[in-house]
Structure 1
Amino acid sequence: MTDSESLVRAACAEAQETPVEAVDVDADIESVQLIRIVMLLQEKVGAELPLESILDCRTVRDIAAVLDSSPAGA
């Protein structure tokens, strides 16, 4: 697991109010949770993430890839 995947996984766990160990990096993320996850990540990395790119994401791995390719990358 990459550093970005770990960061996104932690944000997912926080957004879903579940232990981080319960978050599968390949499981689908609900769109309602996605917005909260993006907000948490922006707080953690201190920069804007490209929302239009994030909206197409469905998994922790997808979001981590966007995070890695953005200027705010982890």
Structure 2
Amino acid sequence: MSDARYDELAARVDGLASVVMQLIADLELRENLDGSRLCRDLRQYADGRRKHPGLGRSALAIKSIADELDAARERRNLLRPR
């Protein structure tokens, strides 16, 4: 894959991930989604994928997304007026 094609693919994946993470945050703030449970489920899903050949990198990406969602939730909770 050429550098230009790789950069294009990376940008599209990053954009998609950003939209999904924003959607999840919005659903959490509206209390339509239990973000902690979602992240726990994502980690379990990642653990299952890790057992299959060729899916290790995908599993790491899923775990990383769960980590980022948890961190974002923690930041929002710190900033929330009490």
**TM-score normalized by the length of structure 2:** 0.29
Which has the higher Rg, Structure 1 or Structure 2? Answer: 2
**TM-score normalized by the length of structure 1:** 0.32
Bigger share in helix = 2
